[in-house]
Chains A and B, each alone.
Chain A
Amino acid sequence: MSETARTTAAEEFANSATPMQKVQHALHRYPWLSPLIVLVVLIVIFAILGFGFDVGSLENFAKPATISLMLQQTVIIGTLAVAQTIVILTAGIDLSIGAIMVFGQMVMANLAVSATASNVTFMAGQNPYLAVIIGVAVATLAGGVNGFLIVRFNLPPFIVTLGTLSIFTALTLIIFKARTIQGKEFEGAQDVMGIMGKDFQIGPFGFTIGLVVMLIVYVVMAYVLRGTAWGTHVYAVGDDPTAAELSGINVKRVLFSVYLTAGFIIGIAGWITIGRLGSASPNVAPEINLETITAVVIGGTSLFGGRGRLVGTLIGTFIIIILDFGLSLAGLDQAYRVLAIGVLVISAVAVDQWIRKVKI
């Protein structure tokens, strides 16, 4: 809403600005610009080291097969990061993302698993489509629980999702006994449950259905955020809830719907995870919460809400995966990769703080 007016003012100002201020304004207007620069620089460095110098196995970095693998590796973090982005846009945070995903995925898997497999719960042997729908619905509901607690009782999102992180982790262990469901235990339902992992070739590149679904989630949500009233309200609530309230936006309803939507996306991510791993495991990706937050922050979305783009999050996800993969091919220990991510996160927040000081 007010954003259009503000950027116009900023543009006018930029005409008489120093080069540094121009950079600041550009970054302010396009929050995804700095991560994009980082991504391009990373790719160029890895490619040069691979072709020009003989560093580890980096000569394989720019090969289609490697690029395909890197793209496929983004699906879990990438999809969850969409949910994290819309939450962070409202100046919230969701620490329960991984726990809800695992819970939803275990609901799906335990419904769809063959009733003749050993040690299954009473609910086994359902139609796989029904299983997926119920699993996604449960995740949506779980997101709704977060939203309800935050809106109804005015609790900080950080505390609520910290609590539900433990609750959904525990529920997974209590209800499903920490049992991993193997792909073959789905029997006839395996095709449906594992469809997100199905791969296909376009030229020399390999893609998975899950990757396509992730990109669809990005496109749809990007449109919703930029092209609908709801999206505008999300930004407004994140920027300044009091002003949003005064301008007639039902802040509580917007917040609740954001967590509900996040839950739905998390549910989809659960299905994608089953496809990627070929099984449903309760101990997959224990650090996924922090990784999604990392992707969102590196992607230029402000932790203080109201500013950021989904495309930035997608770029942030690519940065995490490519940095890790490239440094691995270079033969570097994981400790250095963790170090590099840490430096990136702090740099991203520092840049965000600097951009916020833009004079309008």
Chain B
Amino acid sequence: MARAFGGRRLAFVASAGVLALGLAACGGSSDSGSSDSASSDSSSSESSSESSSEAPAEPVKVTLITKDSTNPFFVAMQEGAKEAAAANGVEITIGSGKEEGDDQGQIDLIEQAIARGDAGILITPMSVNVNAAIEKARAAGLYVIALDTPTDPPDVVDITFATDNCLAGEAIGQWSAGWLNGEKATIAELVIFDDRVVSVDYCRANGFLTGLGVEVPDLADMTSPAKSGSYTTGAGGDYEIVCLEATGANEEGGRAGMEKCLAANGDINVVYTINEPTAFGAAEALKAAGKTIGEDVIIVSVDGGLAGVEAVKAGDIQATSQQYPLRMASLGVEAIASIANGGAAPQNTSANGEFFDTGVTLCTDMPMDTVTSAPQESAQYCIDNAWG
């Protein structure tokens, strides 16, 4: 029987496989928030019975769309949005892509927000593939704020609330130069993708190299810096980039990627990681290879989640740039609520005038005077101010 229907069943499996990818993409948690808003009763008493077609004023509706729902960074963002929504009588819908790279999941959520009649959307855009959907939302009158990750080009959204990922990268690069103090930098770069261009990815990685004083010809191309040469920050010296490994920004990717880098060159002494979960995986690989972290090799990262800055204190990560996702999301919810009630739109505050800067702090217990891109604070300070 199996033989007779073999071809047809193969076709089924194949088409069902495509279906599965599509369905998986639509996943993500949806959390229609508490609608115990006081606004509905107060306003309905004013609008008297003369215009029966006019519905009582509904609470302002906002959708938050993150890249996934498991990364502590995005979980913190969701918490921040929920808290701000409760405080401002906003009805919040929370959704996310299934994982990094799930463009379609985000597009579906944007379209749902339009259909629901939301006042605005907060989104950490996955890639340029969601631009068209964002433009559709803005055309429908929604105020769209990009959180953490700017769109490319930036003016696809109304405004971006972010920490400067390039600056966050620069800070750890400058710190690394201080630690090296003229020694040769043998670098492993553990990024999210190397088959897809995502701004958070290249901005952090190439920002790190820029901070180190390595020439970056094309910011958006992580392969553009020369594989070896000299860095100029601090005492300056030679550098060699051993590897650029894609990790998916999780522990297993971090470990497997670090193992590949170590196999290519066991003398690696500077490990750049896209975020702290990746750093934890890399640390496991380095320990298994008999390296002493903080002496033979340093790990630098970006994010500043609680577990991450605790690792800074414990010495598993030497420096990380702390960002404030909770603040980004709560400010975003407040801004949309304010605009919906006739308030003014927020203005850009960053140094380059391209986004609303929510700040970055370099967390390290070994401050270096080479760091100029961000204020340096102790691990303990960062633990007290951490999210997640």
List A residues at the B interface (Cβ < 8 Å): 56-57, 60-61, 63, 65-66, 69, 72-73, 76, 91, 93, 95, 118, 158, 162, 165-166, 169-170, 173, 177-180, 182, 184, 197, 199, 206, 238-243, 273, 276-279, 281-287, 303-306, 325, 328-329, 333-335, 338, 349, 353, 356
| Residues in A whose Cβ lies below 8 Å from that of B251 | 180, 277, 279, 281, 284
Report yes or no: B24 in contact with A73, Cβ–Cβ below 8 A: no
Chain A binder among B66-74, B109-117, B128-136, B327-335:
B66-74
Q: Min CB distance, B309 to chain A, in Å?
A: 12
11 A-B residue pairings within 8 Å (CB atoms): A57-B265, A60-B263, A69-B259, A93-B13, A180-B72, A278-B283, A279-B251, A281-B277, A285-B253, A303-B9, A334-B194
Query: Which of B69, B99, B194, B263 has the most A CB atoms < 10 Å from its CB?
Result: B263
Known: A93-B13, A304-B6, A333-B194. A166 touches B27 (CB 8 A): yes
Residues of A within 8 A of B283 (CB): 278
Q: Are A277 and B245 in contact (CB under 8 A)?
A: no
- Give the nearest-CB partner of A321 in chain B: B256
Q: Report chain A residues within 8 Å CB of B366.
A: none
The interface residues of chain B lying within 8 Å CB-to-CB of A305 are 2
Inside 8 A of A182's CB, which chain B residues have their CB? 280, 307, 310-311
Q: Are A66 and B277 in contact (CB under 8 A)?
A: no
Q: Tell me how far the C-beta of B15 lies from the nearest C-beta in chain A, rounded to whole angstroms.
A: 11
**Cα distance A73–B20 when bound, in Å?**
27
A177 neighbours in B (Cβ, 8 Å): 75
Which residues of A sit under 8 angstroms from B16, Cβ to Cβ? 158
Contact A60/B264 with A76-B252, A178-B72, A303-B13 known, Cβ cut-off 8 Å: yes
| Chain B residue nearest to A165 in the complex (CB) | B24
Distance between A55 CB and nearest chain B CB, rounded to angstroms: 12
Which residue numbers of B lie inside 8 Å of A, CB to CB?
Answer: 1-3, 6-7, 9-10, 13, 16, 20, 23-24, 27, 29, 68-72, 75, 98-100, 193-195, 223, 242-243, 245-246, 248, 250-253, 255-256, 259-260, 262-266, 277, 280-281, 283-284, 288-289, 306-307, 310-311, 314
Chain B residues near A279 (CB-CB < 8 A): 251, 280
Q: Chain B's nearest CB lies how many Å from the CB of A118?
A: 8
Set of chain B residues within 8 Å of A287, measured between Cβ atoms: 99, 248
Q: Are B195 and A335 in contact (CB under 8 A)?
A: yes
Q: A170-B29, A281-B251 are in contact. Are A334 and B69 (CB under 8 A)?
A: no
A-B pairs with lowest CB-CB distance, top 10:
A57-B264, A283-B70, A335-B195, A286-B99, A66-B263, A277-B251, A69-B259, A328-B260, A178-B70, A334-B246
Are B252 and A356 in contact, CB atoms less than 8 angstroms apart? no
- Within the complex, what minimum Cβ distance (angstroms) separates A77 from chain B? 10
Identify B1's interface contact among A73, A242, A329, CB under 8 A: A242
Tell me whether A286 and B9 are in contact (CB under 8 A): no
Please pick, from B68, B194, B306, the residue contacting A335 in the complex, using a CB distance under 8 A.
B194
Determine which of B3, B263, B288 lies in contact with A356 in the assembled complex, contact meaning CB atoms within 8 Å: B3
**B90 to chain A: closest CB distance in Å?**
22
A177-B195 Cα distance, complex, nearest whole Å: 30
Sample of 20 more A-B contacts, CB < 8 Å, known A281-B250, A286-B99: A65-B266, A66-B263, A73-B259, A95-B20, A162-B20, A166-B27, A173-B70, A178-B69, A179-B72, A206-B288, A277-B281, A277-B284, A282-B70, A283-B70, A283-B277, A285-B253, A329-B263, A333-B223, A334-B195, A335-B195
CA distance A167 to B9 in the complex (A): 26
How long is the Cα–Cα vector from A309 to B70 in the complex, in angstroms?
A: 36
A303: chain B residues at CB < 8 Å are 9-10, 13
- Interchain CB contact under 8 A, A199 and B288: yes
Q: Which residues of A contact B307 (CB under 8 A)?
A: 180, 182
Q: Are B68 and A277 in contact (CB under 8 A)?
A: no
Closest residue on chain A to residue B14 by CB atoms: A349
CA distance A69 to B283 in the complex (A): 15
For A329, give the chain B residue with the smallest CB separation.
B264
Using CB atoms, name the residue of chain B closest to A91. B2
Q: Which residues of B contact A162 (CB under 8 A)?
A: 20, 23
- A281 and B275 CA atoms in complex are apart in Å by 14
Residue of A with least CB distance to B285: A69
Please, which residues of chain A bring their CB within 8 A of the CB of B262?
69
Q: How many angstroms between the C-alpha atoms of A63 and B284 in the bound complex?
A: 21
B264 in complex: contacting residue of A56, A158, A197, A356, CB < 8 Å: A56
Assess whether B263 is in contact with A180, with CB atoms less than 8 Å apart: no
CA distance A282 to B2 in the complex (A): 38
**Min CB–CB distance B4 → chain A (angstroms):** 10
B315 to chain A, nearest CB (A): 12
The docked-state distance in angstroms from the alpha carbon of A56 to that of B8 is 44
State A338–B248 Cα separation when bound (angstroms). 14
* Best-buried of B3, B260, B280, B310 by chain A (most CB within 10 Å): B260
Q: Which residues of A contact B69 (CB under 8 A)?
A: 173, 178
Q: How far is the CA of A283 from the CA of B263 in the complex (A)?
A: 26
Please measure, in the bound complex, the distance between the C-alpha atom of A333 and the C-alpha atom of B244, giving whole angstroms.
9
Chain B neighbourhood of A284, CB < 8 A = 250-252
Residue pair A240, B2 in contact (C-beta under 8 Å): yes
| Chain A residues whose CB sits within 8 angstroms of the CB of B280 once the complex forms | 182, 277-279
Q: How many whole Å from A42's CB to the nearest CB in chain B?
A: 16
Q: Is the CB of A197 within 8 A of B70?
A: no
Q: Return chain A residues, CB-CB under 8 Å to B2.
A: 91, 238-240, 304-306
Nearest neighbor of B307 in chain A, beta-carbon distance: A182
Q: Which of A65, A69, A165, A276 contacts B252 (CB 8 A)?
A: A276
Whole-angstrom CA separation of A293 from B238 in the bound complex: 45
- Report how far A158 CA is from B307 CA in the complex, Å: 37
Asked if B10 and A353 make an inter-chain contact with CB atoms under 8 angstroms apart, the answer reads: yes
A325's partner among B29, B68, B260, B277 (CB-CB below 8 A) is B260
When C-beta atoms are compared, the residue in chain A nearest to B311 turns out to be A182
Partner of B255, one of A276, A283, A335: A276
Question: Do residues B263 and A277 form an inter-chain contact, with CB atoms below 8 A?
Answer: no
Report A-chain residues with C-beta under 8 Å of the C-beta of B260. 69, 325, 328-329
B1 and A240 form a contact (CB under 8 A):
yes
Which B residues are in CB contact (< 8 Å) with A180? 72, 251, 277, 307
CB nearest neighbor in B for A60? B263
Q: For the complex, what is the distance from the CA of A197 to the CA of B285, rounded to whole Å?
A: 11
Chain A residues within 8 Å of B243, by CB: 328
- The answer for the CA separation of A166 and B29 in the assembled complex, in Å, is 10
- The reply to whether B256 and A73 contact each other, CB–CB distance below 8 Å, is yes
How far, in angstroms, from A162 to B24 measured CA to CA in the complex?
A: 8
Distance in angstroms between the alpha carbons of A307 and B259 in the assembled complex: 35
Q: Are A69 and B263 interface neighbours, CB within 8 A? A: yes
Q: Collect the chain B residues with CB atoms within 8 Å of residue A356's CB.
A: 3, 6
Q: Are B284 and A278 in contact (CB under 8 A)?
A: yes
Q: Give min CB distance, B25 to chain A, whole Å.
A: 11
- CB distance A277 to B72 under 8 Å? no
CB neighbours (8 Å) of A65 from chain B are 263, 266, 289
A173-B29, A177-B75, A338-B195 in contact; A285/B70 too (CB < 8 A)?
no
